Structure 1
């Protein structure tokens, strides 16, 4: 006889929404919920296992004995098994033992909706109810200004486990609580507007960096309790810094306790391996054609935005989702009903995801990591787009790093590489990413790509960042790149903080902090960062000198910003550029300044606009452009 009482949190309306794929608050019903029934405190459990013929809750409270606590299947063919277990509660560990009606398969699964999980390599779920009093009311009321598309987006991307470690304590990672002090202070000092965490949902395998999830609703227990993560997010918000999470709706691992083969059948994954298995990552792909799976994923996205006050979701591997032939040879994929290679179910899913996110949380952003030319990724659904707020500009990243890697002697022959991004720069709302993917697997660090002697390498890096921060679009920089780490990122070790004993690395760090400040304090650099009329070329074709120059404009027609970039180690003196009008002009940033490790020999202190037409403009100025440097000028009418 089962020691489980009949009880349900589901209404008939809940079930109809779930079956239709329209229930986007499933976490309020599914999983384990501490409650009181008939005056007795205990826990209600609900799990979706449509191909099961028996489901029991096993845990430390029943010595992991199968059949001791049997859940009851609902009568409505929803596939949900549920029940209330008295005297079971907070911090008890559990799993579901599922007997399949398919080939007699028996599985032991962690709860897909668990709010907390055991520390890997242990794999059980933990009954948990968070207790955190949020103190970020000021941020939440005004964050629509910080997260707006016409606000500065300067993102510090990090891997929580390797940002900084306690080397004297067996090289352990910092806890969420420790990060709430050290990381928040650092990000604020560096003037970033947002942080982006690589996935922090529970994952079993450290080398996956968190991209192979088993606990979609549970913060990884590696760094502490759920409340400690909330405290960390709260601390960022109290310091006016937004928090973006990496979110992985594209695939999941085949680990025995995870979502794969959940009830003895392909429950969450697509049953056709051509659609349900990812050859690159040897993982399973969600079945986006299944309504219940869509409800699971969209509920998960809203869960983090709601329960953890998250300001944005960076959606991982969107390209792999959109195309049926992604990483597949001919014969390994099947065209869609229209004969094309697009995954129509995914397109529908992403549109619904973004519509629901922005309807419920209009003051957040979704950001697509999408590397192809798929159209209108960051355009609204009502106009035919996928509905993301922004898209990573992978083309800019690739072309820019390819160009900067070149010996400066030959850059004038490849000048089109550095100017090409603006031929498509406003087809999407682009974010410029120098992410973790660019500093691993033999690609070298960003500094490691720079050519020349030591001085030239660091000058090139300062030039690259100056170009990046004045180029239209949001900015994203992976941890370590902001102080010129020389080695590739290693997730098992902390960043090379020791290099900051050297002035040349401190100079890079100071450069990034000041560029962040510049970006946020000059509206012309962000107000129209996704609009074509916020940008104007001065000269994109001076390949002879390998100098690039352009204008950035905001809402104030009387103020504009000019960026000029010398891609060679030869200073350009008496260099004339065109400007569209007369006014007072001054240099507001110079990457060759001595405080950054530059020569400090080339400044533009007294500039005067003349009526000499140049570069197709009515006026012009004569400037000096330092070697391997970018300068930023502000012109006010």
Structure 2
């Protein structure tokens, strides 16, 4: 390891030196960074948990011990005594495996036992921004479960057999996994971690996770993982006061504690940067994860996420160094920011002063859109701008449109429940919402359960309500979203020019009283037109303005009968006369048409 790079925040592979390093002769070299500890011993299965003293190496800030004949799978901890004489048993910050909670020991694992078979996928990953990106966000413990019994989860291997075919059927080409780094509390959803290099043991071993990702790739499904570089769990057996002092966190709790009660990383410290950068590279390199979605980036940009407190320059520099370093090592890795602020340059290259992300969640689009669909139809004319405003700023960053887990918890109601009106009214509006989402520029993300019309808010302890598919309206919604997703994947107009102005234009965005919107998406090969009526009235005789075509051919309608609407499927070309096509638009409807005869 480059010790100078470690101290200055330039190291990206600290995990190959620190932690439990299995040697060719069957021994394990245990190393940890604990500059302020008075003494440290290794305790584990291999010494009956009695402790074997470590010794200082290099500059005295690192500790090391070689233990012969340690089996892979052995449990261990570091017994750390502080300068004040207090002794606490800690899990390994760089440990590659963990015991299943509530137990807290680290587990010895190697990095080289699993042989990936995803070479074809890895070779074609770098096709750039002009490709479809349709993400299915998943919490592995509550997508499906074996039973309602506590902890009765499917393993990573079992999920590969169940989840991958479902994702392919539904028309998603990426899965986003909510955090898989080890965490003690189920209710944190994985966002308060203790093992940043350790896949959670809830669903199996690290190599079983590798198998899951390998199988995704062999089935042409990419994998993005949520990564949490902002904060960590306060449990005293992990990073908190690791060597008896605040080693990873701020000494001042005024800035050191987050709004969630967790400890904020002190990103101005080089050792902390090297720890987090190494963790990010670890998932991308050692597990073949295709990208990382960075959680709560606004809490890095600003002190405690509050622009009024000012910018956290140390954390901003950390993001720039990490993203730039990851791209230098793995140019095709996707780096996605969840940022709710208006900070400029999130997706700009670091060389030009930006943060270096590939995409930023468009939370403004999400908030405005969901607010609009919650509004009673008679009030929508006054809120017409909520669906046009996003295009006023859209090309300032590269955006991803998210309908994520955050929108279906904490009393916010599910996406379907957010739709205004009674049971009968909610479904056509939900179909129209998802159609509008696909029509709008930007990559896509949809949380599990949205596609079946969940009425119950997400609960990490229960599987999705799959029995809903026995009810016609839920089944029709599912089939509509499935077909809409496949339409997205198969039509380059919906993704090839996402980040270029020539890929989008409004055809009609001045129909406030009728709540009609019309837009065009285009690529090198095709043009698609979308028309929406978000009022509760049929809009007859609507003259859709189009140019340079003989007519429009319907290729998807939210109101076709097979999706629960009242319109019989008809894909006949609608002729254009004097650069207009006349349409009758049902209430709460969306229509996609292909331009014919240019």
With structure 2 as the length reference, what TM-score do the two structures score?
0.97
CA deviation string 1:363-387 (max 9, x = no partner): 1210000001010101111122110
1:608 corresponds in structure 2 to 575
1:45 corresponds in structure 2 to 30
1:168 Cα offset (Å): 6.8
CA separation in 2, counterparts of 1:32 and 1:75? Answer: 18
1:4 corresponds in structure 2 to none
Q: Does 1:317 align with 2:277?
A: no
Give matches, 1:277-356, under 5 Å. 277-278=257-258, 280-326=259-305, 341-356=310-325
1:589 corresponds in structure 2 to 556
1:575 Cα offset (Å): 0.9
Structure 1 residue runs without a partner (length 5+): 1-9, 334-340, 612-618
Deviates more, 1:492-501 or 1:50-59: 50-59
Q: SS of 2:462's equivalent?
A: coil
2:470 corresponds in structure 1 to 501
Q: SS of 1:411's equivalent?
A: helix
2:95 corresponds in structure 1 to 114
CA separation in 2, counterparts of 1:166 and 1:57? Answer: 37
Q: Is the 8 A contact 2:413 2:456 kept in 1?
A: yes
Q: Does 1:28 align with 2:23?
A: no
Q: Is the 8 A contact 2:555 2:571 kept in 1?
A: no
Q: SS of 1:400's equivalent?
A: helix
Q: Does 1:520 align with 2:520?
A: no
In structure 1, which of residues 250, 253, 259 is the aligned counterpart of residue 233 of structure 2? 253
Q: SS of 2:346's equivalent?
A: coil
Q: Is the 8 A contact 1:602 1:626 kept in 2?
A: no
2:143 corresponds in structure 1 to 163
Q: Does 1:551 align with 2:515?
A: no
293 and 171 in structure 1: CA distance in 2 versus 1, 3 angstrom threshold: closer
CA deviation string 1:108-144 (max 9, x = no partner): 2100111110000000001112521211111111122
Structure 2 residue runs without a partner (length 5+): none
1:433 Cα offset (Å): 0.6
- Tell me the C-alpha RMSD between the 2 structures: 1.6
1:634 corresponds in structure 2 to 594
Q: Is the 8 A contact 2:255 2:304 kept in 1?
A: no
Q: Does 1:15 align with 2:3?
A: yes
In structure 1, which of residues 444, 447, 468 is the aligned counterpart of residue 416 of structure 2? 447
CA separation in 1, counterparts of 2:570 and 2:382? Answer: 28
Q: Is the 8 A contact 2:551 2:581 kept in 1?
A: no
1:414 corresponds in structure 2 to 383
1:61 corresponds in structure 2 to 46
1:427 Cα offset (Å): 1.3
In structure 1, which of residues 129, 133, 140 is the aligned counterpart of residue 110 of structure 2? 129
With structure 1 as the length reference, what TM-score do the two structures score?
0.91
CA separation in 1, counterparts of 2:552 and 2:417? Answer: 36
In structure 2, which of residues 29, 32, 53 is the aligned counterpart of residue 70 of structure 1? 53
1:622 corresponds in structure 2 to 582
1:555 Cα offset (Å): 2.7
Deviates more, 1:448-457 or 1:458-467: 448-457
Deviates more, 1:452-461 or 1:165-174: 165-174
Aligned length: 596
Q: Is the 8 A contact 2:476 2:564 kept in 1?
A: yes
Q: SS of 1:230's equivalent?
A: helix
